[in-house]
Amino acid sequence: MFHIPNSKTHPVFCTKHLGVEIDSRLSWSNHIDKICKKVSSGIGIIEKARLFVNFNTLDTLYKSLVQYHFDYCGPVWDAVGKTLSDKLQGLQNRAARVITASSYDTRSEALRQHLCWDDLQTRHLKQVTTMMFQVHHGLCPEYLTDMFIKCSQSTSYSLRSASNNNYFIPRPRCEYLKTSFSYMNRGAYLWNHLSKDAKITSSLHSFKASLLPSDFFLINS
């Protein structure tokens, strides 16, 4: 029990904030379990509807009943271990097989390419990159923009880094920081590895169109 002036606070293992389950160890396992249950239910509905509706309707059902749960606050919680990440990816693969009426021996990568889907990790990294575009152009709330320091504001970085519109990457003090939004395979690191042309794009639509699979290869490998 923690004592705060004029009140007593009891610790809890997990709490829910804006639909995100946050556990005391930041493992996100409880939140992933919730996503899996909702996604599995959505896939079940799609499977039942497949015999009666066309592909466009199936696609709409997928986006509203499945993809929404994969995407919601993805940049916050997707820094999970391989076991939980594979669990989620397995569900996306299952959805692809249901929509295309494919057997389980069909390669999931081929199905995603046919459906024009990114795998979940790449999808989340694109979300992070898009958010970094908004940070860079001052389109985010101030508290989020303040998380990042441009190299042009830091004397410890070269003029080349500053001219490339790069961001300072803080040295982590703990393992969790390495996978946080502002470090390594999140915002600053991912932004710094984009092409110079992508960084100076002024339109969000053009920026998204300029993103290539190779921009995320280093992160995924």
Same structural domain for residues 63 and 140? no
The one-letter amino acid at 140:
C
CA dist 17 and 10 (Å) reads 17
How crowded is residue 75: how many other Cβ atoms within 10 Å of its Cβ? 20
The answer to whether position 151 is within a domain reads yes
pLDDT in tens, 139-162: 888 888 887 878 765 555 544 555
Dihedral over Cα of 199, 202, 204, 205: its sign: negative
Instruction: State residue 164's pLDDT score.
Output: 64
Percentage helix, strand, coil, to 5, in the chain? Answer: 55, 5, 35
Per the listing, tokens 């410890």 go with: 156
For the chain, 221 residues long, the average pLDDT of each consecutive 10-residue run is 68 84 85 96 97 95 96 85 92 97 93 94 88 87 81 54 67 55 63 84 87 64 48
pTM for the model stands at 0.80
Same structural domain for residues 100 and 155? no
Instruction: State residue 89's pLDDT score.
Output: 96
User: Last residue of some domain: 83, 117, 151?
Assistant: 117
Number of domains in the chain: 2
The answer to whether position 221 is within a domain reads no
Give the list of residues 6+ apart from residue 51 with CB closer than 8 angstroms, or none: none
Give the closest residue to 59 by CA, choosing from 73, 72, 46.
46
- Which residues partner with 21 through β-bridges? 16
Domain extent at residue 83:
7-117
Q: Coil, strand, or helix at residue 23?
A: strand
Same structural domain for residues 162 and 77? no
Instruction: State residue 11's pLDDT score.
Output: 78
136 φ, ψ (degrees, to nearest 5): -65, -35
